[in-house]
Amino acid sequence: MALDGVTHRTLEVNGIKIHVGEIGNGAAGTVLLLHGFLELWCSWHHQLRFLSERGYRCLAPDLRGYGDSAAPISPSSYSAFHIVGDLEHGVMEAEFAQMDTKFIFKKLLTTRDTGAISLSKEWWGPMDEDIPLPPWVSQDYVGHLAAKFDQTGFSGAMNFYRCLDLNWELSAPWTAAKVTVPTKFMAGESAMSYNYTGVQEYIHKGGLKGDVPGLEEVVVIAGGAHYIHLEKAEEVNEHIYDFLKKF
């Protein structure tokens, strides 16, 4: 996916090669944008353009196991300490291999389910379903995601989840640690994770603030779901900028 002004570099970091999309002169500072599950560097395309126009140097890597970055084979190479599961190896990849990759991303990007996604055959529904794209998702973006994951497969992405138990073990010494840096939290009102049992109470009734003393603001994006940086790009951009320009 080509974005005007973005340069691409491959860096040797922590013993592996990491691909990074970079834009902006850095007069206002540097911003590191880290994508989520089954996304790529270009998932931040709205923010890359917006923030670079305001003087920020933006760095958006493909995380290890994604896109043009290296993908170590061992799931233990995907712990929180590397990036910074109860998944049987190969099963989910085999399920995905039976589906059209564009269909996978259209389904995930457009779902408005607020419950847990099991990714079962029943959840995916008919594979020949015609899924229209909303205005905030371009065919170019879906095509780029599909092409990259056709090339790399899904093992790298799945390994992040296979490493969940290991992450708990490795981070045990910091169980009671607090996040003290200035923090702004954003979520879509229809995001499945925001609607899990107990989550809203935790966020809005002091639990999150207790764990994150540096929390300055909680923003719930009306009409947004999981991909608010795409769905509500202008609103999210302004919230990010309002936070960054204080520093």
pLDDT at 202 over 60: yes
Q: Are residues 101 and 207 in the same domain?
A: no
How far apart CA 138 and CA 171 sit, in angstroms, is 39
- Helix axes of 139-152 and 101-110: crossing angle, nearest 10 degrees: 130
Q: Which of 154, 192, 187 is nearest to 39 (CA)?
A: 154
Give residue-wise pLDDT tens across range 53-82: 999 999 999 998 899 999 877 766 656 555
Residue 96 has a pLDDT of: 67
Mean pLDDT of 185-197: 95
* Same-domain status, 101 and 182: no
**Other C-beta atoms within 10 Å of 238: how many?**
12
pLDDT attached to residue 88: 42
Final residue of a structural domain among 148, 173, 198:
173
CB atoms within 10 A of CB 70: 18
Q: Is residue 184 over pLDDT 70?
A: yes
Q: Measured between alpha carbons, how far is 37 from 47 in angstroms, rounded to an integer?
A: 18
The proportion of the chain whose per-residue pLDDT surpasses 90, expressed as a percent, equals: 63
Contact 60, 35 (CB under 8 A): yes
pLDDT at 229: 98
Question: What is residue 89's predicted lDDT score, i.e. its pLDDT?
Answer: 46
Helix (H, G, I), strand (E, B) or coil at 152: helix
Which residue among 127, 151, 173 closes a domain?
A: 173
**Among residues 81, 88, 36, 87, which one has the least CA distance to residue 63?**
36
The mean pLDDT of 41-60, rounded to a whole number, is 98
- State the CATH number of the domain containing residue 85: 3.40.50.1820
Q: Which region holds residue 16: left if phi is over 0, alpha if psi is between -120 and 50, else beta?
A: beta
Shared domain for 112 and 233, answered yes or no, is no
Please check the confidence at residue 140 and state whether its pLDDT lies above 50. yes
Tell me which residue has tokens 């995905």: 96
- Residue 191 is part of which domain span? 178-244
Whether residues 183 and 126 share a domain: the answer is: no
Tens digit of pLDDT for each residue in 167-181?
Answer: 889 899 999 999 999
- Split at pLDDT 50, 70, 90, the class of 87 is very low
Neighbours of 143 (CB within 10 A): 14
Are 65 and 158 in the same domain? yes
In a domain, 1, yes or no: no
Residue 40, sorted as left (phi over 0), alpha (psi -120 to 50) or beta, turns out to be beta
The CA dihedral of 187, 31, 33, 50, to the nearest 10 degrees, is 70
Is 88 among the domain residues?
yes
Distance separating the N- and C-terminal Cα atoms of the chain? 31
Q: Which pLDDT belongs to residue 81?
A: 59
Give DSSP secondary structure letters for 194-244. Answer: GGSTTHHHHHHTTHHHHH-TTEEEEEEETT--S-HHHHTHHHHHHHHHHHH
Total tally of structural domains belonging to the chain:
2
Averaged confidence pLDDT in the chain: 88
Quickly state the pLDDT bin for 233 (edges 50, 70, 90).
very high
132 and 50 part of one domain: yes
Q: Is the pTM of this model over 0.75?
A: yes
Does a structural domain hold residue 2? no
pLDDT number for residue 180: 97
